[in-house]
Amino acid sequence: MNVMTVDVEDYFHVSAFESVISPDDWTSIKPRVGDNTHRLIDLFNEHNVKATFFTLGWVAKHCPDVIKRIVDEGHELASHGTNHRRNTTMSRQEVLADIVESKDILEQISGSEVIGYRAPSFSINKENEYVFELLVELGFKYSSSTYPIEHDLYGVPEWPRFVHKRKEGITEIPIPTLSNGDKNKGIGGGGFFRLLPYWLSKRRIDAYLRETSQPYNFYFHPWEIDANQPRIKDAPFKSKLRHYVNLHVMEKKLVKLMKDYQWGSMRDVYKDEF
């Protein structure tokens, strides 16, 4: 059994556009995340897939019907912070407030306990490991916030590649990678999955499963199945390339992925690790 995860945020929340879209602008933009997430849940139901939805507190406040449906239909609800601010851009007190607010909103709307957390843009590194301490204090059982690769926005390549209990007492579930000895290659989903042909992604997933005997966990976002989303004209070219590449084929690839493997939530697949 492998793990399907969704980072529930809208197209205007992403870190790639933070230089041109301020949080102050969000209220003037029509959300698309609600309809896109409902569409994803429909797809999951069609293919007997259960998933973990790492959800922004902002989304929960604006789309409470989505939150209730996630839980009512047997998926796991987890935290992705409140406003998609990267932890590396906040003080310890700001990070604490952000996580507390998100957990409270999600639990109040859903009526269920939230035990999992994923940092926006995998923004936990060697400079802010205190975030793990905060998560333990707040009652989280696990995090999926690290990506042990070289990347311009995130990643600590030398950190563990597989599920492990950290010294703070929380279970960390990294995004999966393939290793060629001295360098890790990201295969967790998102832009990598959209960019590559499906046969190559599948080859990488199969190699990971064969070589590691670990569950594979996949992540993506609701906006990735929304080819008609508004274009952000003033965004940097590199950001636009990353965000918009192959949106029109993502849903078809996702259906193939769901058919080729068995999928469950973080809570169900890793429950013996908590």
Give the model's pLDDT for residue 119.
Answer: 97
Report helix, strand and coil shares of the chain as percent, to nearest 5. 45, 15, 40
Torsion angle of the four alpha carbons 5, 133, 161, 244, in this order, in degrees rounded to the nearest 10: 40
Residue boundaries of the structural domains of the chain = 2-273
What are 42-68's pLDDT values in tens digits? Answer: 999 999 999 999 999 999 999 999 999
CB contact at 8 A, 247 and 33: no
Q: Provide the CATH number for the domain formed by 2-273 in this structure.
A: 3.20.20.370
Give the model's pLDDT for residue 90.
Answer: 96
pTM, 2 dp: 0.96
- Partners of 77 in the beta sheet? 53
What are 108-120's pLDDT values in tens digits? Answer: 999 999 999 999 9
CB contact at 8 A, 9 and 33: yes
Which residue has 């197209």 as its token pair? 11
At residue 154 the predicted structure's pLDDT band, cuts being 50, 70 and 90, is: low
CB contact at 8 A, 133 and 151: no
At residue 156 the predicted structure's pLDDT band, cuts being 50, 70 and 90, is: confident
